[in-house]
Amino acid sequence: MREPERSDETTEHGLVPARRILVVDDSRLQRRILLASLKRWGFEVEEAASGPEALELCRTNPPDIVISDWMMPEMNGPEFCQEFRRMGRGSYGYFILLTSKSESCDVAQGLDAGADDFLTKPVSGDELRARLNAGERILKMEQQLVEKNRLVSETLAELQALYNSLDSDLVEARKLQQSLVKERFRQFGSSQVSLLLRPSGHVGGDLVGFFPVNARRVALFAIDVSGHGVASALMTARLAGYLSSAAQGQNVALIEGPEGQYDSRPPEEVAAELNWLTLAEMETDTYFTLLFADVDLVTGDLRLVQAGHPHPAVLHADGSVEFLGDGGLPVGLIGEAGYQRISTRLGPGDRLFITSDGVTECEDAAGKMLDHAGLSELLQRNAGLAGPAFLEALTHDLSSYAGETEFADDVSAVLFEFGGKDGPQGFGS
């Protein structure tokens, strides 16, 4: 007779093909007939005369395959099968019911109880071998799935460990990036500067800052590096060094005079110098938008360059809003890019508001961007506040507009409030 399909291969972790069979039948003769064939085919076999006895064997030494008679005293085959399925096991057990029943309702009852297959009594040797081969195929597939699930679980655990490590590093990176903005507020006589920097993720590509040029002038800047994440954050760190207030000699926006006094380069030259440095020294495909301005703290004279950055807004003391600039090319994109200076004068109580596109392009639930009209409304709505309180209220209003507490893009801003030489005016204080 043809032997049943067998395999003695073991997996890397010692899993073996199904070969332990439990025969359950109240007929000792029927058990002997089945055991003789199964042992001849190389299976390890145990026997039980009843359902309760079989359950005890299953608890101590779970079988791979169960062949159980349907009609037995104390507990019939379907009842035994139900209890067998309720037992906790590390692998699947294949269950074959022996029955003389052939009605579809009887078959349905067996399947509902958890049986996998049926054999009609008297049992044919060829049919028994076929059912066992089918059972072994199912159990082999189950073992393969267990192994694959183990590998997936181990891989996921490794990925989770890597993610946790990366997440921890990104948390520290966020702290370091936030430390690039050492001061969020400073008073300059009757004028003052406030900064807002809120990355959309762990780290972002926005950078804002200011530094004194000399006793009567202060420089302001806002940068938005293309893209998001670590690469953009590294770029902002590099740019922060080029516009540092701590190392005036390395600040590309400053020129040292013959007596050691510093003056600011014209804003358009600052943009051109950063454009050259980005293309010649950084060797990166990343570019950025820039708004660089310097303002006279006495006269309110303002000169700035707009290099692809959103238009800066002037909230005048009378409540009107004016947007400056005509766009310009980003920095680090085209070697021959030219940049134009924009000049104006702030009056006492006027405020210069410089922001990233994370504000102007913020969308509401319907996908409508805030744009200039919406920004004007927010600026005018909060005109009674000043300094950090103004920026905090504006951020709250922006969050309400977006309908979310986390923004889709980095949000940053520079707020310069000009008090005039006669003292602070128009700040709502």
Q: What is the pLDDT of residues 334-366, one digit of tens each?
A: 988 899 999 999 999 999 999 999 899 999 989
pLDDT at res. 176: 64
Q: Are residues 248 and 290 in the same domain?
A: yes
Main-chain phi, psi angles of 353, to 5 degrees: -120, 115
pLDDT at res. 102: 62
Under the banding of pLDDT at 50, 70 and 90, the label for residue 104 is: low
9 has a pLDDT exceeding 60: no
- Residue 11, domain member (yes or no): no
> Which SS3 state, helix, strand or coil, does residue 97 take?
strand
pLDDT at res. 406: 75
- In the sheet with 206-214, reading across from the earlier edge strand, the strands are 206-214, 217-225, 288-296, 301-307, 341-345
Structural domain ending residue among the three candidates 128, 150, 172:
150
pLDDT at res. 426: 41
Structural domain ending residue among the three candidates 150, 167, 196:
150
- Residue 1, domain member (yes or no): no
423 has a pLDDT exceeding 50: no
pLDDT at res. 380: 96
pLDDT at res. 12: 42
- Residue 425, domain member (yes or no): no
Q: Are residues 273 and 378 in the same domain?
A: yes
pTM, full prediction: 0.63
Contact 286, 225 (CB under 8 A): yes
Mean pLDDT along residues 30-42: 92
pLDDT at res. 375: 95
190 has a pLDDT exceeding 60: yes
Q: Which domain holds residue 355?
A: 180-417
Q: How many domains does the chain have?
A: 2
Instruction: Identify the residue with better confidence: 283 or 74.
Output: 74
Q: Are residues 193 and 336 in the same domain?
A: yes
Rounded to an integer, what distance in angstroms lies between the CA atom of residue 28 and that of residue 49? 7
CATH code of the domain containing 336 = 3.60.40.10
377 has a pLDDT exceeding 70: yes
Name the amino acid, one letter, at 102: S
Residue keyed to tokens 């395959």: 65
Q: Are residues 137 and 209 in the same domain?
A: no
- Residue 426, domain member (yes or no): no
Q: Are residues 138 and 196 in the same domain?
A: no
- Residue 199, domain member (yes or no): yes
Mean of all residue pLDDT scores within the chain: 85
Q: Are residues 124 and 187 in the same domain?
A: no
As a three-state string, the secondary structure of 169-223 is HHHHHHHHHHHCCCCCEEEECCEEEEEEEECCCCCCCEEEEEEEEECCEEEEEEE
Contact 293, 304 (CB under 8 A): yes
181 has a pLDDT exceeding 80: no
Mean pLDDT along residues 242-267: 82
pLDDT at res. 329: 94
Residues 130-143 have pLDDT tens digits of 999 999 999 999 88
3-state percent breakdown (helix, strand, coil) of the chain, nearest 5: 40, 25, 40
pLDDT at res. 428: 41
